[in-house]
A = this chain, B = another copy of it.
Amino acid sequence: MKGFGIHTSLWAMDWTTEGAEKAIAEAQKYPLDFIEIALLDPPSVDAAHTRYLLERAELPAVTSLGLPEEAWASVRPAEAIAFLEDALDKTAAIGAWALSGVVYGGIGERTGKPPTEAELDNVARVLQHTAKYAKNLGLELGIEPVNRYETHIMNTGWQAADMIDRVGAENMFIHLDTYHMNIEEKGAANGILDTREHLKYIHLSESDRGVPGAGTCDWNEIFAALAAIGFTGGLAMESFINLPPQIASGLSVWRPVADSAEQVMNDGLPFLRNKAIQYGLIPK
């Protein structure tokens, strides 16, 4: 996966056939190299339909998810494995390159304590099994550290790198997100530096999840660090606006953080592309 992509939740929260059609049609209006599809409910996705749309649009894809509470890897490893296998089958069926995201747990999973060794062991075993399953399907498996409020399992780049070392699977990679890095890393670049061996995908998301370029993220530092490590992976813009209640709750977005999807695309995407060009990450 390379170049600029976008998380399709900007246009469709549910990946129904209608949602898929709308999102892919919208994505084609912009200079995008790939899309990310949220597999919140893998069985409900019509893989053949999505595959057809993606091939027609010549758009590569990545899928992503967070686990539902009944399948959190830290406490329900068997259920996590079953859920992830389904998601990987669907990912392969739609012709995507990888499954990524909070594949190790739930968005909002917190015990009120630091992660225990037992929890981390469960996560590692789930990932080990799942990575192997993904490999047999020709897929890569990504893990995305998220901020302290969304999980207690993995908040920083170096924690994700530790987990990859623990698992030892060759087809695993790290997926960072600038929104979370802005909270968790001691300087935006540190997340990138700590994961340079494994970083293949990054969410470019503003500090309030609104329009990239209009927040507190230090984009100069972020793009400088990406350029410095020779990053060639996917740059996925992500913004959450006008969310339905069930999603807003998980992400805790209580107000519109952008005026519209058009604002995100027309202001945010050129801003990010110009920064990528400024630091030599993509050609002019």
Contact = CB atoms under 8 A, between A and B. Distances in A.
Give the copy number: 4
A186 to B, nearest CB: 5
Given A155-B254, A193-B228, A214-B278, A245 B113 contact: yes
Given A190-B280, A215-B187, A274-B213, A245 B208 contact: no
A185 B213 contact: no
A249 interface: yes
A254 B213 CA distance: 30
Contacts of A274: 213-214, 267, 271
A184 B214 CA distance: 11
A223 B187 CA distance: 10
A16 interface: no
A169 interface: no
Given A148-B253, A189-B228, A208 B220 contact: no
Contact of A190 (B182, B218, B279): B279
A193 to B, nearest CB: 6
B215 A186 contact: yes
A110 interface: yes
Contacts of A284: 259
Given A113-B245, A214-B274, A227 B182 contact: no
Contact of A187 (B115, B224, B270): B224
A83 to B, nearest CB: 23
Nearest to A155: B254
Nearest to A252: B148
A224 B189 contact: yes
A38 interface: no
A185 B278 CA distance: 10
A282 to B, nearest CB: 14
Nearest to A159: B255
A277 B277 CA distance: 24
A221 interface: yes
A176 to B, nearest CB: 14
A207 interface: yes
A117 B113 CA distance: 34
Query: A189, A214, A278 — which one has the most chain B CB atoms within 10 A of its CB?
Result: A189
Interface of A: 110, 112-115, 147-150, 152, 155-156, 181-190, 192-193, 196, 207-208, 210, 213-218, 220-221, 223-225, 227-229, 245, 248-249, 252-255, 259, 267, 270-271, 274, 277-280, 284
12 contacts: A113-B245, A152-B254, A183-B207, A183-B208, A185-B208, A185-B215, A186-B208, A187-B216, A187-B223, A196-B228, A214-B277, A216-B218
